[in-house]
Every structure is written in C-alpha cells, then in structure tokens.
Chain A
Amino acid sequence: ETGVTQTPRHLVMGMTNKKSLKCEQHLGHNAMYWYKQSAKKPLELMFVYNFKEQTENNSVPSRFSPECPNSSHLFLHLHTLQPEDSALYLCASSQQGGGGSYEQYFGPGTRLTVT
C-alpha cells in the first residue's frame, strides 16, 4: 500500500449504531487530520494530531471520537450519529503540522450515510 488509505470506502449506518473509520498513512508523516466534506461546502477540519498528540478539535460534537494510537494510524469512532452527519470523511497526513510548505496528502475518503 502507498499513500493514505481509508476503510471502509462506503458505510451506511443507523442512528443507534456504533462504527469506526480507519485511516493509515504509509508516508512516514507526523501529522494526521480528519475532515468532513459535504456537497458544495468547504472542507471542515475536525481533528488534528501532530506527533500523536491532538492539537485541534474544532468544536466537533462528542458523537465523533478520534483515536491516534501511533503516527501511522488514525481512527474516527462514530456513535448515535444524526442524518446531517452524512458526508464524505477524508483523512489526510502531512510531514508535520505547523508552518512550512508541507502539503497534505489525502485518502480516498469514506462515504458515510446515516439513516
């Protein structure tokens, strides 16, 4: 595997379910990100981990819970979601957080539908 991978690619879940999204980066990067992408809206940054430490939580509801066990893996645990949480969830990584020209590399995303 190369780059950033995400599983599953598609997920349909009920509002009472619990599921997890997985992201893995094979680039040796130290920063990882979760984004939400809804149709015709800007990417919304949800969580940032830099060197396995969470450095940003942009007022995300507690029904979304991130986990970063090491610098290569990132999870997003989901529970009691709402229909408006249906979106594309993108994982990204970069050499490190902070300044510099470090671009972010994105995974293919998980298309989530909450019924």
Chain B
Amino acid sequence: GQNIDQPTEMTATEGAIVQINCTYQTSGFNGLFWYQQHAGEAPTFLSYNVLDGLEEKGRFSSFLSRSKGYSYLLLKELQMKDSASYLCAVRDSNYQLIWGAGTKLIIKP
C-alpha cells in the first residue's frame, strides 16, 4: 500500500526554527508538495520538490531525498501565525496526490 508518515503534533517557540519530517512509500514518484492549513480554512500551497535538494522560499525551505523517501519542511524565525497544520503529499505513478495526515504545529510565545 501507499503511505505517508508525518509526526502528529509538534511544538516550537516564537522566533525559533522547526523541521517537520515526512517519509513516504508510494507506487512511483512524480513530485512532493507541502501545504499549510490553518484551522477551519483551506489548505494553501507552500512548496514543490521533484529533484533532490533544498528549495528555499523566504522563511520556508523544503528538502527532498528520493532515494530515502524523505522530505522535510524547515520553518525559520517562527511567528505566531505559523501555528497551523502542515500537510505532505506525494504524487504517485498515476499522477494522483497521496496525502499525509498532517502535522499540527503549535507556536508558543
């Protein structure tokens, strides 16, 4: 079967750095996405990785290792508004997105 694993919940301090990991086992790989979802709101796109390495976008970076079936989302200079769930999704060989259950990130002052 296909599976995406993420930690259920993480806590971090305002101004700090946090890394949210995602491991996957899927039938094929055609890209990995990270989305942010605030409580009661729609998921919004953060990043896309299809080649190994780091993609940086301001305070957010995403890393991919295809050989290890592993990705992480790195959030720097955390702000209270970063409190949200972070969803990892992998596009499989049929070009459909397989989603993780999400990581709830709690930011404390």
Contacts and interface: CB of A to CB of B under 8 A. Distances in A.
B25 interface: no
B96 A48 contact: yes
Contacts of A108: 41-42
Contacts, number: 45
A42 B41 CA distance: 15
B45 A40 contact: no
Contact of B4 (A42, A45, A104, A109): A42
Interface residues on B, range: 20 to 34
B65 interface: no
Interface string B65-109: 000000000000000000000010101000111111110000000
Nearest to A58: B96
Contacts of B91: 99
Nearest to B43: A106
Contacts of A75: none
Interface string A86-98: 0000100000011
A98 B50 CA distance: 14
A45 B97 contact: yes
Interface in B37-59: 41-45, 48, 50
A44 B102 CA distance: 13
Contacts of A48: 96
B19 interface: no
Contact of B95 (A98, A103, A104): A98
B99 A42 contact: yes
A59 interface: no
Contacts of A104: 45, 97
Interface of A: 4, 40-45, 48, 56, 90, 97-99, 101, 103-109
